[in-house]
């Protein structure tokens, strides 16, 4: 599972050839959430409120890049890194 971004201790990852809908995994300490790229809805899991807010802000800024990385992972190709939230 490639890590495509890391910021404030949060890891953003995608699995190769993962199932639809397009999504990413956000991991913070022992917490993990699966987040839909299109709607930014939490599909599974949870994160602490502050971490989730940071992830949502970052994802909103990088939707097009997330979609492109999703397509690469579905094709079993390495995703491009995405800039962290600053």
| pLDDT number for residue 19 | 87
Q: Is 55 exposed, middle or buried (0-12, 13-18, 19+ CB in 10 A)?
A: buried
Distance, in Å, from the CA atom of 48 to the CA atom of 1, rounded to the nearest integer, reads 22
> 72: part of which helix (H) or strand (E)?
helix 63-74
Q: Map residue 7 onto helix, strand or coil.
A: strand
What are the residues facing 50 on neighbouring strands? none
**pTM recorded for the entire structure:** 0.94
Query: Averaged in consecutive runs of 10 residues, what is the pLDDT profile of the chain (86 residues)?
Result: 94 90 97 97 97 97 96 92 92
What are the residues facing 27 on neighbouring strands? 11, 32
């Amino acid at each position: 599972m490639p890590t495509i971004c890391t910021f404030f201790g949060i890891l953003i990852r995608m699995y190769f050839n993962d199932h639809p809908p397009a999504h990413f995994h956000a991991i913070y300490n022992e917490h993990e959430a699966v987040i839909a790229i299109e709607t930014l809805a939490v599909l599974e899991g949870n994160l602490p409120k502050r971490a989730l807010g940071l992830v949502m802000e970052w994802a909103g800024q990088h939707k097009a890049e997330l979609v492109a990385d999703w397509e690469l992972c579905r094709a079993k190709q390495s995703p491009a890194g995405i800039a962290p939230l600053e």
